[in-house]
C-alpha cells in the first residue's frame, strides 16, 4: 500500500467480488437462528455441523434438500418465504459489519469496480447494504435468484464478472464458506477465504489462494 493508502496493482486483478453474509455483514448467526426456528416450526432438527455445511447456499437449495429428506408437506416456496420473513424480523436493527469492511470496501472502490454476489434474495441484499451504508461503493449486485444454479456451481460469480465487464481471471473473490470458495475457484477467479466462527474448521486449502482471519489482513500481494 502506498503512503496515501492506495493499493499498488501489478495488473492481474481488476475487480473485486464480495460474498455478503459472513464477509460483509455478521449475519450468519442470525440466519442459523432463523433456520432453526423454521425447523422447529416444521417439526424437525439437524445436527449443527450438518446445518453449518449449508452456509453459502441458497434458501432454495438448502430447504429443497431438507424438504425431500424429511418429506415436508409444505411447498418449497412457502418454506423459503417463512425463513426469509423470520430472518428479516430477526435481522432488522441487528446487522453489523464484519471486521475491516468499513475500511477496505471504500478504499478498494476508489480504484476498482466492486460487486456483491450473494446467495441471498435481493430484499436481504438491499437490507444489508443499506443498513451498513455501503451501497454506493458497489456497481453490481447479484442474488441467488439471478442464476440457475446455487453455489458451489460457479454461476453467480460468472454473472457478477459479466455484469462488471471483466474476465473471470481478473476478479478476486472474498468468501467465508467452502461452498462459495469452491464456486469462485470453479469460475476461474482468485479466492481469498475469510472464515469466521461457523466456517473456520473447513479446509479451504484446495479452493482458496489465500486465507485471512478478517479483512484487515488484506494485502497488496493478493493482487499479483
Residue 5: band (very low, low, confident or very high) from pLDDT cuts 50, 70, 90: very low
pLDDT in tens, 11-30: 599 999 999 999 999 999 99
The model scores a pTM over 0.85: yes
CA distance 139 to 141: 7
User: Cβ of 212: how many Cβ atoms within 10 Å?
Assistant: 17
Strand order across the 190-193 sheet: 140-142, 114-117, 15-18, 171-175, 190-193, 210-211
pLDDT for the residue numbered 2: 35
pLDDT for the residue numbered 6: 54
Question: Which fold, 15-27+95-223?
Answer: Rossmann fold (3.40.50)
Domain boundaries, the chain: 15-27+95-223, 28-91
Domain 28-91 has CATH 2.60.40: no
Active site residues per annotation: 19, 21
CA distance 82 to 68: 17
pLDDT in tens, 140-179: 999 999 999 999 999 999 999 999 999 999 999 999 999 9
Mean pLDDT estimate for the chain = 94
pLDDT for the residue numbered 3: 35
Strand partners, 192: 174, 210
- Higher per-residue confidence, 8 vs 94: 94
Amino acid at each position: 500500500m502506498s503512503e496515501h493508502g492506495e493499493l499498488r496493482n501489478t495488473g492481474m486483478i481488476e475487480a473485486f467480488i464480495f460474498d455478503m453474509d459472513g464477509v460483509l455483514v455478521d449475519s450468519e448467526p442470525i440466519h442459523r437462528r432463523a433456520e432453526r426456528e423454521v425447523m422447529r416450526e416444521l417439526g424437525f432438527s439437524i445436527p449443527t455441523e450438518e446445518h453449518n455445511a449449508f452456509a453459502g447456499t441458497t434458501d432454495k437449495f438448502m430447504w429443497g434438500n431438507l424438504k425431500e429428506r424429511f418429506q415436508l408437506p409444505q411447498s418449497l416456496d412457502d418454506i423459503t418465504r417463512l425463513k426469509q420473513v423470520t430472518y428479516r424480523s430477526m435481522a432488522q436493527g441487528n446487522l453489523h459489519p464484519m471486521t475491516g469492511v468499513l475500511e477496505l470496501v471504500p478504499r478498494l472502490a476508489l480504484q476498482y469496480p466492486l460487486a456483491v454476489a450473494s446467495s441471498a434474495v435481493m430484499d436481504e441484499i438491499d437490507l444489508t447494504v443499506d443498513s451498513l451504508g455501503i451501497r454506493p461503493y458497489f456497481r453490481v449486485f447479484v442474488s441467488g435468484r439471478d442464476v440457475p444454479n446455487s453455489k458451489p456451481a460457479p454461476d453467480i460469480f460468472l454473472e457478477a464478472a459479466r455484469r462488471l465487464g471483466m474476465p473471470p481471471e481478473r476478479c478476486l473473490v472474498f468468501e467465508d464458506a467452502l461452498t462459495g470458495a469452491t464456486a469462485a475457484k470453479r469460475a476461474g477467479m482468485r479466492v481469498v477465504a475469510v472464515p469466521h466462527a461457523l466456517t473456520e474448521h473447513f479446509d479451504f486449502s484446495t479452493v482458496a489462494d489465500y486465507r485471512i482471519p478478517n479483512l484487515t489482513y488484506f494485502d497488496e500481494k493478493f493482487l499479483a
